[in-house]
Amino acid sequence: MDASMIETFELPLPGGITLACRAAGAPANPRRVMLLHGFPEAAFVWDEVMTRLAPRARCVAPNLRGYAGSSAPAALAAYRARELVGDVAAAIEATGAPIDVLVAHDWGGALAWNLAAQRPELLRRLVMINSPHPATFLRELRQNPAQQAASAYMSFLCRPDAGRLLAENDFARLWPFFDDAAWLTPALRERYRAVWGAGLEGPLNYYRASPLRPPTGPDDVLHALVLPDEAVTVRVPTTLIWGERDRALLTGLLDGLERWVPELRCLRVADASHWIVHERPALVADAVAAALD
């Protein structure tokens, strides 16, 4: 990867929010790709994918609200879906709407599913990576004990003291999220340390503000949650890449997905995990290039 191909800039949005962005590719290129990261990551995870795509398109990857270098409001209400999806919509509009492909992983995918359902005019294609559609996630959290167990970590992340506990002893509770991954080089560890050291409360507020988490009992808000089909149906042509060794998001989340994503192409990767962007950047870049073409 040629690190010199990556540029950085700040993107001001309405409402006083600023997103720290990384980018590659000629700014004048009319073909545009935006890439959204998840937890506990940041925009730098897309660097290799963007450098591979740079000859084809202008690629922009923002640090989402709450993450290092971007605005991090203190109020929990600032991390509700409406506000976060609004940031992505405004970022697309600011960098040249509609974009050709929106690429998203994990929490970035949660925002992208909602954006594609609510504002389909802002994008032409969607590439999703190990990010559950809200309708299947709601179903599995209600009905599937295996998914409930796999998502149990979310309850810890919602604790008011989670940020302090995660930061202890050189982030000893965060490194296991990566499953002792071979790709986690000393250089990448330093990049993650820098992101986490900039603050964890904003990223954790994504979990605290969301009702989509394992139910704690029969009166849990999850049981009363209603997601009307018209609010979550994505009619944008979508490629879904899924590392099947994902320990937190199980493959049952893919069952019946065509009901809400009628133009769906699913690429299941048996030997990849939740961290497929690190493990298989060429595969991810090739899928985005195919969507561009």
Active site residues: 106, 207, 274
Lookup: tokens for 16: 């006083």
- Other Cβ atoms less than 10 A from the Cβ of 51: the count is 20
CA distances from 144 to 89, 132, 137, 215 (A): 33, 14, 10, 11
Q: Are 65 and 111 in contact (CB under 8 A)?
A: no
Beta bridge partners of 31: none
- At position 65, the amino acid (one-letter code) is R
- Give the chain as a 3 state SS string: CCHHHCEEEEEECHHHCEEEEEEECCCCCCCEEEEECCCCCCHHHHHHHHHHHCCCCEEEEECCCCCCCCCCCCCHHHHCHHHHHHHHHHHHHHHHCCEEEEEEECHHHHHHHHHHHHCHHHEEEEEEECCCCHHHHHHHHHHCHHHHHHCCHHHHHCCCCHHHHHHHHHHCCCHHHHCCCCCCCHHHHHHHHHHHHCCCHHHHHHHHCCCCCCCCCCCCHHHHCCCCHHHHCCCCCEEEEEECCCCCCCHHHHCCHHHCCCCEEEEEECCCCCCHHHHCHHHHHHHHHHHHC
